[in-house]
């Protein structure tokens, strides 16, 4: 109970610290919504081609689930990895190790804080999609959508922690994190659907972004009847998350690269 109280207090501090930093809040929370408004407005009413695998559907019906995954990854991977690297190099993680709060409890709290923001972003994205772009959310696939987002968030949190292993300092964090992430976003069809038979799609299928996009779109596709779970894509996400978790547990560093 004592650890739980400390975690609750730390979680409140993490949330206050985040929302009191407008620039951080903008890039990890409002930037995906801005992309949704820009691209959704430009392509509103456009019909998807047969090559996309969803012929005849409105572009927004595909784009809202895709930008939803973009927001989750931004919070659970990009923000988390940069945050932990910065805290490590500033010596904060080193001080956490000597505090009454257990190290595992601190990491759990940081992850939960990012997942809370991701959940808020999911709700806001779906609200904007429904109100302004008339996106339909099938009720029968709500459980599949929740499970997909949960698996994706967990996987990318693990990947975000694992990638800190190869980041040498805080200055290099944004370049390394975004240098890996942004090419995959475009390769995976986040901003526009790509044909499943294309070379880009086949390359992207080996990485976690594409399975997350496809599984989320499938769970929000009004044409899908019956189970909206995509077992293969969820398994791919789970494997990526599991491997990343093993790396994070074995190699995560609490001490700064340059001793302070």
What is the pLDDT averaged over residues 199-206?
88
Residue 259 covered by a domain: no
Residue 44 covered by a domain: yes
Residue 258 covered by a domain: no
Residue 23 covered by a domain: yes
What's this model's pTM, rounded to 2 decimal places?
A: 0.90
Q: Which of 120-134, 172-186, 187-201, 245-259 has the lowest mean pLDDT?
A: 187-201
Within 10 angstroms of residue 170's Cβ, the number of other Cβ atoms is: 17
Domain that holds residue 139: 2-251
Within 10 angstroms of residue 7's Cβ, the number of other Cβ atoms is: 17
Q: Tell me the C-alpha distance between 30 and 232, whole Å.
A: 31
pLDDT above 50 (res 260)? no
Q: Tell me the C-alpha distance between 257 and 259, whole Å.
A: 6
195 three-state secondary structure: coil
Residue 235 covered by a domain: yes
pLDDT above 60 (res 50)? no
Residue 153 covered by a domain: yes
Residue 21 covered by a domain: yes
Number of domains within the chain: 1
The predicted-structure confidence for 2-38, as pLDDT tens digits, reads as follows 899 999 999 999 989 888 887 777 777 788 888 888 8
Residue 173 covered by a domain: yes
Show the tokens assigned to 73: 């990854």
């Amino acid at each position: 109970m004592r650890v739980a109280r400390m975690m609750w207090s730390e979680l409140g501090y993490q949330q206050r610290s985040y929302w009191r930093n407008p620039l951080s809040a903008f890039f990890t929370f409002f930037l995906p919504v801005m992309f949704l408004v820009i691209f959704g407005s430009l392509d509103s009413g456009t019909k998807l081609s047969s090559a996309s695998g969803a012929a005849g559907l409105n572009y927004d019906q595909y784009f809202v689930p895709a930008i939803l995954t973009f927001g989750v990854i931004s919070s659970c991977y990009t923000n988390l990895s940069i945050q932990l690297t910065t805290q490590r190099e500033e010596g904060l993680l080193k001080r956490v190790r000597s505090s009454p709060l257990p190290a595992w409890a601190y990491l759990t709290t940081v992850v939960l804080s990012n997942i809370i923001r991701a959940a808020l972003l999911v709700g806001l994205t779906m609200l904007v999609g429904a109100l302004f772009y008339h996106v339909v959310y099938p009720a029968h696939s709500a459980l599949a959508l929740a499970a997909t987002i949960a698996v994706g968030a967990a996987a990318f949190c693990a990947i975000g922690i694992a990638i800190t292993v190869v980041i040498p300092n805080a200055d290099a964090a944004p370049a390394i994190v975004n240098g890996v992430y942004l090419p995959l976003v475009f390769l995976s069809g986040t901003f526009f659907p790509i044909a499943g038979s294309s070379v880009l799609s086949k390359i992207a299928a080996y990485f976690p972004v594409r399975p997350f996009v496809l599984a989320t779109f499938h769970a929000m596709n009004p044409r899908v009847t019956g189970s909206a779970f995509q077992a293969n894509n969820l398994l791919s996400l789970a494997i990526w998350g599991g491997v990343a978790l093993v790396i994070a547990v074995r190699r995560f560093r609490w001490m700064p690269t340059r001793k302070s």
